[in-house]
Structure 1
Amino acid sequence: MLPLGFSSGLPFLLVFSTLSTWLREAGISLTVIGMMSWVALAYSLKFLWAPVVDRYDVPVLARLLGRRRGWMVLTQLGVAAGLIGMASTDPQSGLPFSILFAVLVAFASASQDVVIDGWRIDAAATERQGMMAAALLLGYRLALITAGAGALYIAEFANWHSAYLAMAALMAVGLIGTLLAPRIDEGPARERLPIAKAIIEPLADLYRRKGSMLIPILALIACYRIPDYASGIMANPLYIDLGFSKADIANVSKLYGVWIGIIGAFAGGLALTRIGLWWTLLIGAVIAAGSNLMFSWLASGHATLWGLTLAISVDNFAGGFAGSALVAYMSGLTSPGFAATQYALLSSLYALPGKLIGGASGAVVENFGYPTLFTGTATIAIPLVVLCFIIRRDTMKSVEDKEEAAGMDSEPVGAGSRA
């Protein structure tokens, strides 16, 4: 699971913030860089082709390796091929080819995530999924450091082409993990619902349980991480424009910042146990959006290494805290019969608006400047707070119902109404 988690996390930054750094250094306009972030929409839309990965075999590879491992190898080779293609292009003279290969990386990477999640669920019993998820997360975080700091270091001391070739070579880690993974799907392909029905039925279940409250719930989920996606796209171009070196960005943002984000995530988890889901969700909404003001402050005459460290510290801690709150909230919205599908749909919803709006962030910066963009995204905290108060009663009731159900499940046989 550890090398598969690494393989899952490696491509993401290479078509997101690391790519935006390369493009800005190459002189590409911020408007184009912002629109390039739409490449990552593949991660939000992967549920659309997930049934294909579940239902059909890859010719030849499935016979040799099994259904899951066959898809793993195909997608990993697709990611490596796309990264090699990106390494062979020059954004200044061949931007359309850079975009084409970035799309290939994103599509293959999102498909790899689908099959790795399917393998993880099939490979271990429910009581072992916590350990599997922990190994996946550790591998993913190590990959983020590699594709963030590692790629920037190589680009600083060699060039961007060498950096992306090195990342393509590191996909061998995932291939090794695939070959070491046990073959667990010897039977025939399992039947799945048609795509339309597989999407509509879980949504219908949510509506039956939540009624009209579903509208503000979905609005909250859709808007919750918009500030994070806007800062994720424009932060690295801001650092470049302020004169920071790639080594500075790697040290502070991609090494130090990742660990601060992990601390923030643990803080969010601790808050969930101490003050409850709703208060954690509310605090996460305020600090995650408000932290974007640090980038406005950085762009307004505080472009020192200390200022960069402070801005990244606040932003990454707040993002990690809010991420834990949102994952817990979305998990609590699912029902046992549709848990996997509903969570996939909700997680796609929270990512999609941020990526769509984030694509226009470059145009905002070029017309109005960095402080305007980051101050504007910080104001999203206002409607988020309003939405949190609208859903407060429903959230409190849902938590109480789950705790009551858990208490009933823990009663001994023969006690109370369960007898």
Structure 2
Amino acid sequence: MRGNAGLATILLGLYAAQSVTGSMVQTALPVVLRDAGVPLDRIGFLSLLFLPWVFKMLWAPLVDRFASPRIWILSCQGLLCLCFLLAAAFSPVDGLASLTPVLFAMAAIAATQDIATDAAGIHATGPENRVLASGASTVGGYLGFLIGGGIWLWTYAQYGWVPSMMVLALVMLLLALPVAQLNLPAVPARRGEASLLRSLGNRTLLAGIGFLILWQAGIRLGGAMAGPMLVDAGLDLEAIAWLRGAGGMVVGLAAAVVGTFAVRRFGKVAVLVLAGALALASLAGLVWWSLRPGPVPVLAALQIALMSATAISFVALYAAMMDWCAPDQAATDFALLQSLDAAIAVVTGILAGQMAEAWGYAPVFALAGVFLLLALPFTRARLDRKAIAAPLPPLPATESPT
């Protein structure tokens, strides 16, 4: 495949593959466990399975230094396929203790593939078409969300655990096929010297971290208890699978496409402000519904609106994050940002579970809105910054690039 369309197609498939595992654990498995009567506070601790995404920055320099993104990606997808086959031996309800280490290994492998895919996207695009990579990331993420959160949940509800794992193993195998067509430009000369120390010398990268914490805390907290809330509202597994799977995919895909074109036309700042306003309105509605429960379709509409705002915001935010990264250690810089994002997901997931179990859902959505309100004033100052404005620490003259 050649050209922007071919590159976008390959990146879309790769981002879908790596998000399958996360979406299954984050959105579908909590629904299964809640349906089996597992308390909300225990479900919240599933967020600990995202620790590999939190700490992936520690081994990201290895992806920058050794082999090619293609080799890393193919190796990871092959291992994920094997992990899904292994996971078929353990039931999530009766054998959760045995299944957890397998899920943790899958998370570590998917996080490593994420590092390599992000590096491929950054190297293959420039500031003028970076939204192509961020758009593919968002659309691919929602495709993975459909597979891991919707199709998987429907398969599990219809046929059980083992067939659902077999389906995901086959999906991982099919999504690996286009990687053979992945062509990337030559890597920058200093790529072999990538390190977290140099990332910490990137002042633009550090300046964006405060904004990222506030923004993603609001987004992550707002969506953490969405699935269990639908169960408590009376929906069965099949209905939730269609709503959060097919419905979420259609809405997320449409929002990501709109967000991609909007960023190209109006810029990252305007699009993120618009997404923030939509998210705040959705969160306010969810607070109201939690305090005064009404028709379930209204709850579903509010959750879909929040999904739309999330998808639109990711296109703009991820394009800015890619701009903050130094070209010669793109995997390391971007992994640092995503590790922070994953840490936010872990903390907000646990916090949301504890708050919802103790006080109900309304305080969770209210706190999410507070975080977004605190982030909005800093949008222009942080999203318009470029990594080229932040010089990196010099390397010792005796070291040669690899």
TM-score by length of 1: 0.75
Structure-2 residue corresponding to 1:173:
174
Shift of 1:39: 1.0
Amino acid at match of 1:192: G
RMSD, aligned CA: 3.7
Structure-2 residue corresponding to 1:417:
none
Q: 2:18 aligns with which of 4, 8, 26?
A: 8
CA distance, structure 1, for counterparts of residue 135 and residue 275 of structure 2: 23
How many residue pairs match? The answer is 376
Amino acid at match of 1:242: A
Q: Which moved more, 1:71-80 or 1:327-336?
A: 327-336
**Do the aligned partners of 2:60 and 2:335 also contact (CA within 8 Å) in 1?**
no
Q: Which moved more, 1:264-273 or 1:20-29?
A: 264-273
Q: Are 1:321 and 2:331 matched, yes or no?
A: no
Shift of 1:301: 4.9
State, as a whole percentage, how many aligned pairs show the same letter: 24
Shift of 1:106: 0.6
Amino acid at match of 2:76: T
Measured at CA, do residues 161 and 228 of structure 1 come closer, stay the same or move farther in structure 2, by a change above 3 Å?
farther
Q: Which has the higher contact order (CA 8 A, sep 6+)?
A: 2
Q: 1:33 aligns with which of 36, 39, 43?
A: 43
Measured at CA, do residues 128 and 370 of structure 1 come closer, stay the same or move farther in structure 2, by a change above 3 Å?
closer
Shift of 1:117: 4.2
Q: Are 1:203 and 2:213 matched, yes or no?
A: no
Amino acid at match of 1:95: L
Structure-1 residue corresponding to 2:111:
110
- SS state at 1:27 partner: coil
Shift of 1:107: 0.7
- SS state at 2:193 partner: coil
**Do the aligned partners of 2:131 and 2:264 also contact (CA within 8 Å) in 1?**
no
CA distance, structure 1, for counterparts of residue 139 and residue 319 of structure 2: 19
Pairs within 5 Å for 1:202-221: 202-206=199-203, 217-221=208-212
Q: Which runs of 5 or more residues in structure 1 are unaligned?
A: 58-66, 403-419
CA distance, structure 1, for counterparts of residue 152 and residue 384 of structure 2: 47
**Do the aligned partners of 2:221 and 2:349 also contact (CA within 8 Å) in 1?**
yes
CA distance, structure 2, for counterparts of residue 72 and residue 333 of structure 1: 23
Q: Which runs of 5 or more residues in structure 2 are unaligned?
A: 1-9, 390-402
Q: Are 1:98 and 2:89 matched, yes or no?
A: no
Q: 1:234 aligns with which of 213, 221, 225?
A: 225
Q: Are 1:382 and 2:373 matched, yes or no?
A: yes
CA distance, structure 1, for counterparts of residue 322 and residue 191 of structure 2: 26
**Do the aligned partners of 1:277 and 1:325 also contact (CA within 8 Å) in 2?**
yes
Amino acid at match of 1:18: A
Q: Are 1:355 and 2:330 matched, yes or no?
A: no
Shift of 1:335: 5.5
Measured at CA, do residues 305 and 233 of structure 1 come closer, stay the same or move farther in structure 2, by a change above 3 Å?
same
CA deviation profile, 1:306-343 (whole Å, cap 9, x unmatched): 22331123111211232233224434544666655434
Shift of 1:22: 1.7
Shift of 1:361: 1.6
Q: 2:56 aligns with which of 40, 46, 50?
A: 46
Shift of 1:248: 1.5
Amino acid at match of 1:237: P
**Do the aligned partners of 1:223 and 1:350 also contact (CA within 8 Å) in 2?**
no
CA deviation profile, 1:124-163 (whole Å, cap 9, x unmatched): 6869988777666655443321222211211222223432
TM-score by length of 2: 0.78
**Do the aligned partners of 2:146 and 2:249 also contact (CA within 8 Å) in 1?**
yes
Q: Are 1:145 and 2:146 matched, yes or no?
A: yes
CA deviation profile, 1:141-200 (whole Å, cap 9, x unmatched): 43321222211211222223432232123222134345x44798999xx97226xxx222
Structure-1 residue corresponding to 2:79:
78
Structure-2 residue corresponding to 1:192:
192
**Do the aligned partners of 1:87 and 1:164 also contact (CA within 8 Å) in 2?**
yes
Measured at CA, do residues 365 and 10 of structure 1 come closer, stay the same or move farther in structure 2, by a change above 3 Å?
same
CA distance, structure 1, for counterparts of residue 77 and residue 169 of structure 2: 10
- Higher Cα Rg: structure 1 or 2? 1
**Do the aligned partners of 1:36 and 1:99 also contact (CA within 8 Å) in 2?**
no
Shift of 1:244: 0.5
Shift of 1:279: 4.2
CA distance, structure 2, for counterparts of residue 81 and residue 334 of structure 1: 33
